[in-house]
Amino acid sequence: MKKSIEYTLNNINTIIPEIFDSLKTKVILFEGEMGSGKTTLMEAIASKHTKYLLLDCDDPFVRIQLENANTEELKQIILDYDITDPVSGSRNWTDVRQFNLMFETKLGSVSEGANSIYLRPETAQGIFVNYLNVQKTGRMKLPFGIAQIGKAFRNEIVARQFIFRMREFEQMEMQFFVKPGEEMKWYEHWKNTRMKWHKALGLGDDKYRFHDHDKLAHYANAAADIEFEFPFGFKELEGIHSRTDFDLSSHEKESGKKIRYYDNESKESYVPYVVETSIGLDRMFLAVLSAAYTEETIKKDDGSTDSRVVLRIPPQLAPVKAAILPLVRKDGLPEKAREIMNELKFDFNCQYDEKDSIGKRYRRHDAIGTPFCLTIDHQTLEDNTVTLRYRDSMKQDRVPVDKLSEIVDDLVSFKKLLRDLEMI
Ligand code: ATP
């Protein structure tokens, strides 16, 4: 398992994302699941809501008919076989219509001669067309990965549930290139590593589960989702797919250019196989935000109760790492607080706040998820210590100012998280 971290850190290159891939249409058309970018509404409905009712049909005779049917014939088959929507129980089907899964636009300043192009529905193809470039210039040896963050566009039938499903979103994808025959080992490796990564964020282990796909896209030989328990139920957060050599081989075929890897050990050259991890940045943001938002009733020192809103966002992801709070706005405390702020600001995003009572300021920072509040009081001027208050437990410790950077760093830095993963 130690290898996982090495591969995460050393064997993954990042390439700069582009909003619109300057790729030719044919590149986009290789998109596995998206096919030509067009699917019938019937297929879309079947895949999303009726559990592949049509596509999963066991009867080979019906399957052949389905695969070769045009839209009118498809409707007739549905009527002939008396197919019922298992969700609604209805047989009241609309006509089958073509549905565009991709967004089409025109490239060219004048309308005559302008080419139709498609906005990319996933970032993966940009990685595939750059595979050889990265492998050669980086002198990479298999296995290695290329990771990218970028915009993706899908003409979703229904975009909903806040930012869960959008037509324009941000994807974070990695294509991991491996020797043919080793893809299953790496598929399992990335499935487990990605699950550990999610759990290490501390949002709650029971909020995650795997969903292994029975029905595979034509280019895949294994696929699973990591599902997360959103407020509206368990839904896909990330996909892990073993994509075989489908993409690189298709690019090789269409471009007429060899995309081979020469293996120095086995003295053979081959098209690498690919294991993909793919997650939506926006969906990940929604997962973190929805799990982190908490309304709590707390007991005060005098026995009475109070409530607070606290965003239990993982410290590594919190936008503000520490709040610097002089207890009062006099007696030299603001000056001392500014001094501490001026030291810490080079390491962390800190906020200085001197307005309102200290209690109100704690609440404000609880609500935006600041993991630490550092309070500067009269004792600070005497012994150079501050009160460090933890957001989640509300526990308070007295700590020396010289140790602050180290203490905060230990909890907010990704180093710790990566080290923890390495231990697993
Ligand atoms: P879903 O079943 O939710 O439609 P998918 O199986 O089509 O997702 P993939 O093609 O595997 O998703 O895309 C990888 C990841 O990209 C998803 O796990 C998700 O995090 C994100 N994603 C996909 N579609 C959208 C969208 N419309 N809006 C936001 N994020 C998305």
Beta-strand pair 372-376/322-326: parallel
We report the CATH number of the domain holding residue 111 as: 3.30.930.10
Q: Is 35 helix (H, G, I), strand (E, B) or coil?
A: coil
**What separation in Å is there between the alpha carbon of 388 and the centre of ligand 1?**
40
The answer to whether the CB of 239 is under 6 A from ligand 1 is yes
pLDDT band (50, 70, 90) for residue 14: very low
Query: Do the domain assignments include residue 25?
Result: no
Looking at the fold, whether 393 and 320 belong to one and the same domain comes out as: yes
Q: How many helices (H) and strands (E) does the chain have?
A: 14, 20
Looking at the fold, whether 83 and 185 belong to one and the same domain comes out as: no
How large a percentage of the chain has pLDDT more than 90?
58
**What separation in Å is there between the alpha carbon of 240 and the centre of ligand 1?**
11
Q: Which residue has the higher pLDDT, 10 or 287?
A: 287
Listed in sequence order, the residues at least 6 apart from 266 whose beta carbon sits closer than 8 Å to its beta carbon are none
Query: Do the domain assignments include residue 28?
Result: no
**Residue 205 DSSP label:** G
Q: How far apart are the first and last CA of the chain?
A: 7
Domain limit, last residue, from 235, 253, 287: 287
Tally the C-alpha atoms within 13 A of residue 372's C-alpha that lie toward its C-beta. 26
pLDDT band (50, 70, 90) for residue 26: very low
Which of 144, 142, 181 has its CA nearest to residue 264? 142
The answer to whether the CB of 237 is under 6 A from ligand 1 is yes
The answer to whether the CB of 278 is under 6 A from ligand 1 is yes
Predicted local distance difference test score (pLDDT) of residue 272:
97
**What separation in Å is there between the alpha carbon of 318 and the centre of ligand 1?**
24
Query: Do the domain assignments include residue 292?
Result: no
Query: Do the domain assignments include residue 33?
Result: no
Q: Which residue has the higher pLDDT, 87 or 126?
A: 126
Predicted local distance difference test score (pLDDT) of residue 37:
43
**Residue 181 DSSP label:** T
Looking at the fold, whether 168 and 118 belong to one and the same domain comes out as: yes
We report the CATH number of the domain holding residue 359 as: 3.40.50.800
Question: What letter represents residue 234's amino acid?
Answer: F
The answer to whether the CB of 123 is under 6 A from ligand 1 is no
Residue 264 CA: distances (Å) to CA of 10, 139, 141, 228, 261: 20, 13, 9, 42, 9
Stretch (H or E) spanning 279: strand 273-280
If one counts every other C-beta atom within 10 angstroms of the C-beta of residue 264, the result is: 8
Looking at the fold, whether 79 and 211 belong to one and the same domain comes out as: no
C-alpha to C-alpha distance for 88 and 328, rounded to whole angstroms: 63
Predicted local distance difference test score (pLDDT) of residue 36:
41
Residue nearest to ligand 1 atom 18, measured at CA: 238
Looking at the fold, whether 105 and 87 belong to one and the same domain comes out as: no
Looking at the fold, whether 306 and 392 belong to one and the same domain comes out as: yes
240: left (phi over 0), alpha (psi -120 to 50) or beta: beta
Highest mean pLDDT among 158-167, 183-192, 252-261: 183-192
Question: Is residue 7 over pLDDT 60?
Answer: no
The answer to whether the CB of 165 is under 6 A from ligand 1 is yes
> Hey, which of 51, 171, 228 would you mutate to test ligand 1's pocket, going by the most ligand atoms within 8 Å of its Cβ?
171
Residue nearest to ligand 1 atom 20, measured at CA: 280
Question: Is residue 33 over pLDDT 60?
Answer: no
Per-residue pLDDT, averaged over 274-301, amounts to: 94
Domain limit, last residue, from 260, 287, 314: 287
C-alpha to C-alpha distance for 247 and 128, rounded to whole angstroms: 7
> Hey, which of 236, 277, 282, 285 would you mutate to test ligand 1's pocket, going by the most ligand atoms within 8 Å of its Cβ?
236
The answer to whether the CB of 213 is under 6 A from ligand 1 is no
Domain limit, last residue, from 262, 287, 312: 287
Query: Do the domain assignments include residue 219?
Result: yes
Question: What letter represents residue 306's amino acid?
Answer: D
Looking at the fold, whether 96 and 114 belong to one and the same domain comes out as: no
Q: Look up tokens 């410290």; give the residue.
A: 315
> Among the atoms of ligand 1, which is closest to the Cα of residue 235?
3
pLDDT band (50, 70, 90) for residue 215: confident
**What separation in Å is there between the alpha carbon of 218 and the centre of ligand 1?**
18
> Hey, which of 33, 167, 169 would you mutate to test ligand 1's pocket, going by the most ligand atoms within 8 Å of its Cβ?
169
C-alpha to C-alpha distance for 35 and 47, rounded to whole angstroms: 14
**What separation in Å is there between the alpha carbon of 364 and the centre of ligand 1?**
34
pLDDT band (50, 70, 90) for residue 394: very high
**What separation in Å is there between the alpha carbon of 59 and the centre of ligand 1?**
30
The answer to whether the CB of 171 is under 6 A from ligand 1 is yes
- The total domain count for the chain is 3
Cβ contact 2:422 at 8 Å: yes
Looking at the fold, whether 157 and 283 belong to one and the same domain comes out as: yes
Per-residue pLDDT, averaged over 30-46, amounts to: 41
Looking at the fold, whether 87 and 144 belong to one and the same domain comes out as: no
C-alpha to C-alpha distance for 66 and 402, rounded to whole angstroms: 71
Question: Is residue 25 over pLDDT 80?
Answer: no
The answer to whether the CB of 280 is under 6 A from ligand 1 is yes
> Among the atoms of ligand 1, which is closest to the Cα of residue 121?
10
Looking at the fold, whether 279 and 304 belong to one and the same domain comes out as: no
Where do runs of H (alpha helix) occur along 159-212? 183-200
Residue nearest to ligand 1 atom 26, measured at CA: 165
Q: Which structural domain range is residue 229 located in?
A: 2-19+101-287
Residue 62 token pair: 């019906």
Query: Do the domain assignments include residue 375?
Result: yes
**What separation in Å is there between the alpha carbon of 326 and the centre of ligand 1?**
46
Looking at the fold, whether 249 and 142 belong to one and the same domain comes out as: yes
C-alpha to C-alpha distance for 323 and 362, rounded to whole angstroms: 9
Query: Do the domain assignments include residue 378?
Result: yes
Query: Do the domain assignments include residue 333?
Result: yes
351 forms beta bridges with 323
Tally the C-alpha atoms within 13 A of residue 330's C-alpha that lie toward its C-beta. 0
Q: What is the value of pTM for the model shown?
A: 0.81
Looking at the fold, whether 252 and 307 belong to one and the same domain comes out as: no
The rounded Cα 189 to chain-centroid distance in angstroms is 18
Residue 290: burial class (beta carbons within 10 Å; 0-12, 13-18, 19+): middle
Mean pLDDT of the chain: 82
**Tens digit of pLDDT for each residue in 188-203?**
999 999 999 999 999 9
C-alpha to C-alpha distance for 1 and 188, rounded to whole angstroms: 11
Cβ contact 376:326 at 8 Å: yes
The answer to whether the CB of 238 is under 6 A from ligand 1 is yes
pLDDT band (50, 70, 90) for residue 116: confident
The answer to whether the CB of 224 is under 6 A from ligand 1 is no
The answer to whether the CB of 283 is under 6 A from ligand 1 is yes
